[in-house]
Amino acid sequence: MLAMAELRQIALKMRRSGLRDIEIAGNHYRIRLRCDPADRAANPPAAPPPVAASPPADRMITAQRPGIIWFTHPLNDRVMTKPGDTVAAGELIALLGIGQLLLPVYSPQAGMLRRQCVANGSVVEYGTELIALSQGQ
Amino acid sequence: MIVIEKTTPLSSVQDLGRAGGLHYGVGTAGAMDPLALQLGNALLGNAPNAAAIEIPLFPVQVRFTDDCCFAVTGHDGRVMLDDVMLPFWWSAQARKGQRLTLHASSRITRAYLHLPGGIDVPEVLGSRSTQLRGEFGGFQGRGLHSGDRLRAAAPQQGGPVGFGIMPPWSALGVANTPVPMIRVLPAAEYDIFTEVSCRAFWHQAWHITPQSNRYGYRLSGEPLIAKVPLEMRSHGIVPGVIQVPHNGQPIIQMRDAQPSGGYPKLGTVIDADMWLLGQIPVGSQVRFIQVSYQQAREAGRQQLAYLQNAIAQIACHRRYAG
């Protein structure tokens, strides 16, 4: 099976190259990826991103599975993390609810939580940006 | 293995209880919140009936003498592994020497501490539950003291930790009701109470008095009056039975109830709501809603389906989590 991370890589490459449709098959699976026709960014050639001497951009923490994102615990609304919190690498910053399960969302690195990109308790897809984490310092 | 560093003697080892002994006068004992017990066991891959430590008073502190995974369910008080706060209803890995501290919650009474394979105590009459009145079962037939050392039945069981389960409070939609509603079946002596009293029973919010514990919940409110005073011989009763003594203030039998009693029985809390009642703190209020036998059975079926589904989801995650 392809890992979700690989699929995301493939989707990103399709988007950059302007490929609109791809089908991948293995022994026990078949996957078809199709670009959204409304996605203008999928038109090549994409201009190279401007090189800026600005401080490092925020790192986006994305959902690794589809589910419901909880920045507060659904039992009693206790806040897990909020914008402005400094977190260590590997620190638990949110919960992803899948059915009855609550799975951890860890911070990939140390930094400051700048902003929550989705509302607490909302449904997120694989790859949805959850939290902007400032890098460095 | 864990060493208890701080506790009250009201902490006790409990599994799902001791069935089949009521006619010998052996009460059921068992976890006051069987949903928390079973979900916590599932988080660690334990059998549903594995024993855990039931904790009604806080803080409680234990130290791990070896690396060991564990889970905490039941309440929503702070759970600290050394100085790291864990989410509620969560499984985690402890390292040798780490301390776990459980703090009180204002709205849920009891927490459960689960170890891999369950708490390793001998089975007595088919159960590992502490029978406090009879002083057998559980850990040496008594509540826990500081200095007690308890072992996990399967310390090497392994499997993924660091995830949790949606508490039944949220999953079953009872988390945000200001006064919990408990479903009750009218019992054998319901009709001896005056119409006014029967109405009062269903319509008022009952106060759970401080004389409430694993044996029974004593309620206070507008007294319930019998049409004629009724004296009965002692007869068999089970957890959930609501008795009304002569002062008109009901007593609900809980898991450590004695197996017989003679007061008139006004109703019985349905099985599906015993977990909820068992978690309502002393000093708060509760209301009763009347249900039929069929509705009680249906509620039981729905709860079983919910529980089996949640346990299956945990088992699936444990199998496939990387």
CA angle B156, B45, B213 (to 5 degrees): 105
pLDDT band for B319, please (50, 70, 90 cuts).
Answer: very high
Number of inter-chain CB pairs under 8 A, A vs B: 53
CA angle A130, A133, A137 (to 5 degrees): 175
Q: Looking at the partner chain, which of A75, A80, A95 has a beta carbon nearest the beta carbon of B175? A: A75
Q: What is the pTM of this model?
A: 0.89
What residues in A contact B175, CB-CB < 8 Å?
Answer: 75-76
pLDDT of residue A23: 85
Instruction: Judge: B163–A97 Cβ closer than 8 Å, yes or no.
Output: no
Give domain limits for chain B: 2-166, 181-291
Instruction: Judge: A102–B171 Cβ closer than 8 Å, yes or no.
Output: no
Over range B116-128, report the average pLDDT: 98
Instruction: Judge: A100–B314 Cβ closer than 8 Å, yes or no.
Output: yes
- Percent of chain B at pLDDT > 90 equals 94
pLDDT band for B189, please (50, 70, 90 cuts).
Answer: very high
Tell me the C-alpha distance between B130 and B116, whole Å.
Answer: 19
pLDDT of residue A57: 78
Judged against a pLDDT cut of 60, whether residue B162 lies above it is answered with yes
pLDDT band for B280, please (50, 70, 90 cuts).
Answer: very high
Q: pLDDT digit string (tens) for B18-27?
A: 999 999 999 9
pLDDT of residue A35: 80
Strands A67-70 and A123-124 come out as antiparallel
Residue B4 in tokens: 């208890």
CA distance A120 to chain B (A): 15
Q: Establish how many alpha carbons lie within 13 A of residue B61's alpha carbon, considering only the half-sphere containing its beta carbon.
A: 10
pLDDT of residue A3: 66
A26 compared with B134, residue with greater pLDDT: B134
CA distance B263 to chain A (A): 38
Give the SS3 label for residue A102: strand
Tell me the C-alpha distance between B171 and A97, whole Å.
Answer: 11
E strands, A71-128, are 86-87, 92-98, 101-106, 111-116, 123-124
Q: Which residues of chain A have pLDDT under 50?
A: 42
Angle formed by the axes of helices B293-320 and B34-44, nearest 10°: 20
Nearest Cα to Cα of residue B257 among B13, B22, B40, B81: B22
Judged against a pLDDT cut of 80, whether residue B311 lies above it is answered with yes
Least confident range from A31-40, B166-175, B199-208, B243-252: namely A31-40
pLDDT of residue B108: 95
Q: Name every residue whose Cβ is closer than 8 Å to that of residue A32 and which is 6 or more positions away in sequence.
A: A21, A22, A23, A24
CA distance A130 to chain B (A): 19
Over range B91-95, report the average pLDDT: 97
- Sheet with A129-134, strands from edge to edge, namely A59-62, A129-134, A111-116, A86-87
pLDDT of residue A137: 52
pLDDT of residue A64: 92
Q: Looking at the partner chain, which of B169, B170, B313 has a beta carbon nearest the beta carbon of A101? A: B313
pLDDT band for B322, please (50, 70, 90 cuts).
Answer: low
pLDDT of residue A4: 67
Instruction: Judge: A75–B88 Cβ closer than 8 Å, yes or no.
Output: yes
Pair A59, A69: CB distance under 8 Å: no
Nearest Cα to Cα of residue B153 among B309, B45, B277, B261: B45
Over range B22-50, report the average pLDDT: 96
Q: Which fold has domain B181-291?
A: Cyclophilin (2.40.100)
Pair B228, B192: CB distance under 8 Å: yes
Q: Which residue of A has its CA nearest to B160?
A: A103
pLDDT, averaged across chain B:
96
